[in-house]
Chain A
Amino acid sequence: MVGVVIVSHSQKVAEGIREMALQMSAPEQKIIAAGGMADGGIGTDAFQVSEAIISANTGDGVAVMVDLGSAVLSTETAFEFLDEELRAKVQIADAPILEGAISAVVEASLGSALAAVIATAEGARTLNKC
């Protein structure tokens, strides 16, 4: 099952999105929050992200959901800390973080492959709300 990592500048945002996504997931679905800095401040930490990716991987790869700016830079930096095998199986979804995370988790929990999980997460960009 594809794992999902949520990278936000805010620990609360990442954990809140994880909680919401858990409601939609299979019991064995890995969803790891990587939000904020070690000191509790606002920001993103590439090492925390790389550890989260390792924890989220059960062999089928990991979809990473990001919020703004440096979340993308930190995630791309985190990819450099991974071994090559895992690096080939992680991808950032170009999607809104909350809607994308929930869509990704629903798709991943069905047992879909990484490409399908990313595509579904990115589909959340056009989700109509009203």
Chain B
Amino acid sequence: MSGELYEVISAVGETIIGNRQMLTDLDAAIGDGDHGINMARGFEAVKAKLQTLETESDIGKVLKTVGMTLISSVGGAAGPLYGTAFLRAAVPSQGKTELDVETIGLMLEAAIAGIKERGKATTGEKTMLDALVPAYEAFQDGAKTGKSVIECLELACEAAQQGVEFTKTIIATKGRASYLGERSRGHQDPGATSSYIMLKALLEHLRRQ
């Protein structure tokens, strides 16, 4: 695996691991309080698995491995959801060793379609989709006006952050938080938050390059 690819995935993983407590606290308020623990467990497993992929340069293959690892190690709903997202993103990036704006757009689109399908969910239900869908739309707006990968990701991150804020204003109708109904309002969604911080970690890593 190329050094760059390894570093990008490590940066995203380290951000999740570093935010274990914050994500768990958010989840404890409206769910079963394990989102941070589960996501950190998943990315610890990814970190261990990356060591075995040192010679792999195909981005699709690496993302497929990340997806499979998350599915088998996260434990909560985020496992199959993010796992499926990475597996789907692995399709347009298969055989590629570098990514351009167009391919990243296709990867985001495929990942979101996978999450919608797996979770039988859509936007406005206080889920990760409330961060990811606006992020994707903003990314594509940037792509249409010929912006660079970093510029498109900046727009995507901004939209994802606004999406996280939006989840505070609505009630949950999916997942464990839906048991709380009206009481889930006022809290930001942990899944939307983890989606946003992963995008942000990706952007910050690329900015440092």
The answer to whether A70 and B79 touch (CB under 8 A), given A43-B38, A45-B72, A46-B72, is yes
Contact B72 A47 (CB under 8 A): yes
Q: What mask results when residues 65 to 77 of chain B are scored 1 for a CB within 8 Å of chain A, else 0?
A: 0000001111111
Chain B residues 92-121 with CB under 8 Å of chain A are 118-119
B83 lies within 8 A of chain A by Cβ: yes
Q: If A37-B75, A43-B74, A70-B75 touch, does A77 touch B38 (CB 8 Å cutoff)?
A: no
Compute how far the CA of A107 lies from the CA of B99 in the bound complex, rounded to whole angstroms.
54
B176: chain A residues at CB < 8 Å are 68-69
Residues of B within 8 A of A39 (CB): 41
Bound CA span A74–B34, Å:
16
In the assembled complex, the Cα of A47 lies from the Cα of B75 at a distance in Å of 11
* B103 vs chain A, min Cβ distance (A): 24
A88 within 8 A of B: no
> Which residues from chain A contact B78 at a C-beta distance below 8 Å?
70
B190 to chain A, nearest CB (A): 13
Are A73 and B41 in contact, with the CB atoms below 8 A? no
Chain B residues touching A, range: 20 to 34
**CB interface residues, A 1-58, toward B, < 8 Å:** 9, 37-39, 41-48
Hey, which chain B residues are within 8 Å of A9, CB to CB? 75
For B76, give the chain A residue with the smallest CB separation. Answer: A70
Bound-state CA distance A123–B118 (Å) is 26
Is B80 touching A77 in the complex (CB atoms < 8 A)? yes
Shortest Cβ gap from A46 to chain B (Å)? 5
Q: Of B72, B73, B81, which is within 8 A of A73 by CB? A: B81
**CB distance B34 to A73 under 8 Å?**
no
Main secondary structure of the interface of A (DSSP, over half): loop
Closest chain A CB from B180 CB (angstroms)? 14
Asked if B167 lies at the interface with its beta carbon under 8 angstroms from chain A, I say: no
A43 contacts B72, CB within 8 Å? no
Contact B175 A74 (CB under 8 A): no
Interchain CB contact (< 8 A) of A42 among B75, B77, B175: B75
Complex Cα–Cα for A41 and B83 (A) = 19
**In the bound complex, do residue A77 and residue B75 qualify as a contact, i.e. CB atoms below 8 Å apart?**
no
Chain B contact residues, CB within 8 Å of chain A: 34, 38, 41, 71-81, 83-84, 118-119, 175-176
Interface residues of A (CB under 8 A from B): 9, 37-39, 41-48, 68-70, 73-74, 76-77
